[in-house]
Amino acid sequence: MPSVEIRGNTDLRRALRLFAPDLEKTLRDEMKAGLLPVVKQARGFVPSTVPMSGWAARSFSEARFPFYNAQLIRKNIGYSTLVSKPNKNGFTSMARIFNGSGVGAIYETAGRKNANGQVWVGPKAGGSSKGVSRSVNPGAGKQFIDNLEPISNSLKGRGRLIYRAWAANRGIAEGIVNKAVDKAITQFYARNKESKFSKAA
């Protein structure tokens, strides 16, 4: 799922949890204060009505493509101040904003790789690739994307919800998070100079 990441030192979080849990809690609270406004704005960018009639839920359809559901998309836009698992490059994030639903990911990123939609192969084409359009309508991909809001560019990526909100935030959230991390490090080492740490219960 799409997500915005702020990379940090996971060793710091481990040390805070073991030796200064009050600093770790303060760090999480301060990161939340930076991230939550972006999350709220991203949720506000979710259209309340379905962008096109063909994306509306229909009880008789057996399509695998997820139906548009504004409430579901908003509910699954959130933040985390937990250390993430390493990505494919070995990096972890100390704080992140995510768009956690399949339908939200589609709305967020549709057209990001190809403004005209996926390559059309038609419903009778063989193979199992998910990167092509099997619609009966050769222009379905472009029509779908043209009905959505334009994609916004941010320093973290391109999209219509969390990346749009990140761009509008203009680095304020990242500044708050980085300041909180620097403050935690400074306070942690200051305490260590005053007395040797003992593991918190």
Q: What is the pLDDT of residues 30-53, one digit of tens each?
A: 999 999 999 999 999 999 999 998
Helices 172-194 and 21-44 cross at an angle (nearest 10°) of 180
Q: Do 46 and 76 touch, CB atoms closer than 8 A?
A: no
For residue 193, is pLDDT > 80?
Answer: no
Structure tokens at 144: 């779908």
Residue 96's Cα: distance from chain center in Å?
7
For residue 145, is pLDDT > 70?
Answer: yes
Full-model pTM? 0.86
Give percent of the chain above pLDDT 70.
89
CA dihedral sign of residues 126, 128, 132, 133:
positive
Judge residue 129's burial from the number of C-beta atoms within 10 Å of its C-beta, 0-12 exposed, 13-18 middle, 19 or more buried.
Answer: exposed
